Structure 1
Amino acid sequence: MGLVSTVQLPADLQDALSERLHATAPSRASAQVERLIENYRGTTPTAAPILRDAADAAAYAAYRMPATYAAVRSALGAFRAQAGDWAPGTHLDLGGGTGAATWAVADAWPGGTHRSTVLDWSQPALTLGRELARGAGEPAVRAAEWTRAPLGGAPALPAADLVTVSYVIGELTPAGRAALLDAAAAATRGALVVAEPGTPDGYRRIIEARDRLVAAGLTVLAPCPHDGTCPITGTDWCHFAARVPRTSLHRQVKGGTLPYEDEKFGYVAAARPDAVPGAPAAARVVRHPQIRKGQVLLDLCTRDDGLTRNTVTKRHGPAYRAARDTEWGDTWPPAPDADADAAADSAPEEE
């Protein structure tokens, strides 16, 4: 079991990003990255998108698009596990920039049966996103619509079965954030997924979004096992992580040496109960499982008991084997898998 799940970027997106990076020149993109990092750490007024020209958009795609994709894809995977066979016919990628969430939705529901619209206030980001999408293997990515529109105030949004709002509400003022979330909830016919950086500030924005979605009549399906008050208090915060493999160009642009990075993120996935026949899990693992000799310690957020620690030992049999394969962010107990249990029963125990 790995400490963090690895999320592979689609090969066609990886190739498109590498081609764009080569064309931009990694040294120039690296300088743009440094400036963007400072902007993202600062305060940006609602009327000013961070990505203001083609160089900004290319730098963003180089240093943020793989991580954003991994976070959204992980959140969608958790949502899909609770939503059963439901699939969107239409998708609105709100504040989607270069389209990371559009690629993630196409990977979560492959086959090109849905239509995606990327809506953002940065024309350079939309232009680059359209260029990256031209060589996509998934028809839904190639056919996506790229639309410029303001995000502040109370935007008029087209209705969609699935709405994604990824890594954008932190760019808005509190009033703009509230207006955008309310508009997104009103536009949602099926499900809405909001993802933010896995920081204390990002967590607070996710809780704000969660509260507004519940007030709008949506039901939380993931990661929370309930719609009630978050049991986390004090200086702690809820977040998860996805491991993102880095190419040599990616490492050069970001100034890193490791062949991967761990993207920490928070999210909420909520749905209209009359449209999506799903239910939240009984519990979710909210910290790295601790594997010790003959036992696994699972820190859980549960529906009935809030935050608890579950100690699973060898005497629990199949549950112990499942716990050894459980990762941070997984549901607990895992969904029954008769074939996996049968294979595990025939395997020797690890000491």
Structure 2
Amino acid sequence: MNAPASSSADILRAALAGLLDGLPPKSATRAVERLIANYRGRTPTDAPVLRDRSDVVAYAAYRMPATFEAVCSALEAFAAAVPGWAPGSHVDVGGGTGAATWAVSATWEGGRPVTVLDWAEPALALGREIAAANPELQAAAWQRSRIGSALTIESADLVTISYVLGELTDADRTAVVDAATAAAQAVVIIEPGTPDGYARVIEARARLVAAGFHVAAPCPHSAACPIVPGEDWCHFSARVSRSSLHRQVKGGSLAYEDEKFSYVAATRFLPDPAPSRVVRKPQIRKGQVLLDLCAAEPALTRTTVTKRHGLRYKAARDAEWGDAWPSAGDADAL
């Protein structure tokens, strides 16, 4: 593993803050408000919303830290399921300013060939500029490419697709996922932690499994998701430090916010997924902890861990939403 993701996050935030120095605060706020309203809408891939440098600077400063933390969280769970494996090459589809490339370099040590594909040339240019602060990304290739049915991806150990599928038509979404499965040894897809984002992840997950991939995270299995469609959705949370721009746009005084996301990580080779995973915030009560788990059966279960469970109770009190949870007989994992 690399240095803690927090170190990379600090470097990234410093680089983004430097970019904002030349942009009037009111202009940045207006740009972010407009982009929030439009960027995740029904924008066709031949008309990028990020039109110029000021758009891209504002959006990157506002969204990159949250995307980085969400992808880091997904990659941490994925890396735990593939111990001893590290990607020798990485392609980031629809990577924009490169948040996922920063997350990959924070997760696995050592440099690797990196290619970022995106339609918006201003985003690619800014991503290249920001990457100068990260020694492992200085040689990355930033390529303009239409993200859709005509997409081709060169063979790579890892392909990431983060916060992209929601911008595509149904046909283009299918084509992009299929292009990734054809090119990669491992695919990680991250979407917003909304019912719609989860639905896109589940759709992509089914295509990955049908193509012969094995789910490594977050699911403990590659069978169908046990969640009943329309009744609930699987998502997780990553804490993000708020910048001054965040506070300007959203108001309030909290120094952080929680980024909700859904994801799937799958591999051509056999991973070692968690026996089960905590899929809701643990409920800590007097003398007991209630854990909502997705298990390998597959099934959704609620487990009550009490003081009489000893080390298991201590582990339950320390458990967080999204963590792996060991099987009942696996004392070594506690």
Tell me if both proteins adopt one fold, taking TM over 0.5 as the criterion: yes
For 1:8 and 1:300, how far apart are their aligned partners in 2? 31
Aligned length: 328
Equivalent AA in structure 1 for residue 138 of structure 2: R
Structure 2 alignment gaps of length 5 or more:
none
Moved more, 310-319 or 139-148: 139-148
For 1:217 and 1:158, how far apart are their aligned partners in 2? 19
- For the residue of structure 2 that corresponds to 1:86, the secondary structure is coil
Aligned to 1:187: 183
Paired residues of 1:88 and 1:162 also in contact (CA < 8 A): yes
- Find out whether 1:236 has 2:259 as its counterpart: no
- For the residue of structure 2 that corresponds to 1:98, the secondary structure is coil
The one of 283, 286, 293 aligned to 2:286? 293
Q: CA RMSD in A?
A: 1.9
Deviation of the 1:199 alpha carbon: 0.5
Aligned to 2:148: 152
For 1:87 and 1:94, how far apart are their aligned partners in 2? 19
Alignment of 1:168-207 (within 5 A): 168-188=164-184, 190-207=185-202
Alignment of 1:111-190 (within 5 A): 111-112=110-111, 114-136=112-134, 139-188=135-184, 190=185
Deviation of the 1:298 alpha carbon: 0.2
The one of 268, 272, 289 aligned to 2:264? 268
Q: Percent identity?
A: 62
Deviation of the 1:83 alpha carbon: 0.3
The one of 307, 310, 313 aligned to 1:314? 307
Moved more, 283-292 or 239-248: 239-248
- For the residue of structure 2 that corresponds to 1:237, the secondary structure is coil
Distance 1:7 1:230, change over 3 A: farther
Equivalent AA in structure 2 for residue 97 of structure 1: G
- For the residue of structure 1 that corresponds to 2:281, the secondary structure is coil
- Find out whether 1:221 has 2:220 as its counterpart: no
Aligned to 2:58: 59
Aligned to 2:72: 73
Distance 1:337 1:108, change over 3 A: farther
Distance 1:210 1:305, change over 3 A: closer
Moved more, 296-305 or 122-131: 296-305
Paired residues of 1:63 and 1:254 also in contact (CA < 8 A): no
State the TM-score, normalizing by the size of structure 1: 0.89
Deviation of the 1:305 alpha carbon: 4.7
For 1:64 and 1:178, how far apart are their aligned partners in 2? 25
Deviation of the 1:253 alpha carbon: 4.5
Moved more, 235-244 or 250-259: 250-259
- Find out whether 1:12 has 2:15 as its counterpart: no
Distance 1:313 1:126, change over 3 A: same
- For the residue of structure 1 that corresponds to 2:308, the secondary structure is helix
Aligned to 2:26: 27
Equivalent AA in structure 1 for residue 191 of structure 2: E
Aligned to 1:108: 107
Distance 1:13 1:309, change over 3 A: same
For 1:242 and 1:284, how far apart are their aligned partners in 2? 16
- Could you list the per-position Cα deviations for residues 257-313 of structure 1 after superposition, in whole angstroms to 9, with x for gaps in the alignment? 31101000000000011xxx5221111000000001111000001111510000011
Deviation of the 1:195 alpha carbon: 0.2
- For the residue of structure 2 that corresponds to 1:64, the secondary structure is helix
Paired residues of 1:7 and 1:243 also in contact (CA < 8 A): no
Deviation of the 1:8 alpha carbon: 6.7
Higher relative CO (Cα under 8 Å, sequence separation at least 6) belongs to 1
Paired residues of 1:45 and 1:172 also in contact (CA < 8 A): yes
Structure 1 alignment gaps of length 5 or more:
1-5, 342-351
- For the residue of structure 2 that corresponds to 1:10, the secondary structure is helix
Distance 1:259 1:39, change over 3 A: same
Equivalent AA in structure 1 for residue 48 of structure 2: P
Moved more, 245-254 or 207-216: 245-254
Paired residues of 2:62 and 2:245 also in contact (CA < 8 A): no
- Could you list the per-position Cα deviations for residues 136-175 of structure 1 after superposition, in whole angstroms to 9, with x for gaps in the alignment? 2xx3212211111111113111111010000011110011
- For the residue of structure 2 that corresponds to 1:196, the secondary structure is strand
Paired residues of 2:8 and 2:106 also in contact (CA < 8 A): no
For 2:48 and 2:210, how far apart are their aligned partners in 1? 28
Equivalent AA in structure 1 for residue 217 of structure 2: A
For 2:132 and 2:104, how far apart are their aligned partners in 1? 16
Paired residues of 1:7 and 1:242 also in contact (CA < 8 A): no
For 2:206 and 2:298, how far apart are their aligned partners in 1? 20
For 1:259 and 1:78, how far apart are their aligned partners in 2? 25
State the TM-score, normalizing by the size of structure 2: 0.93
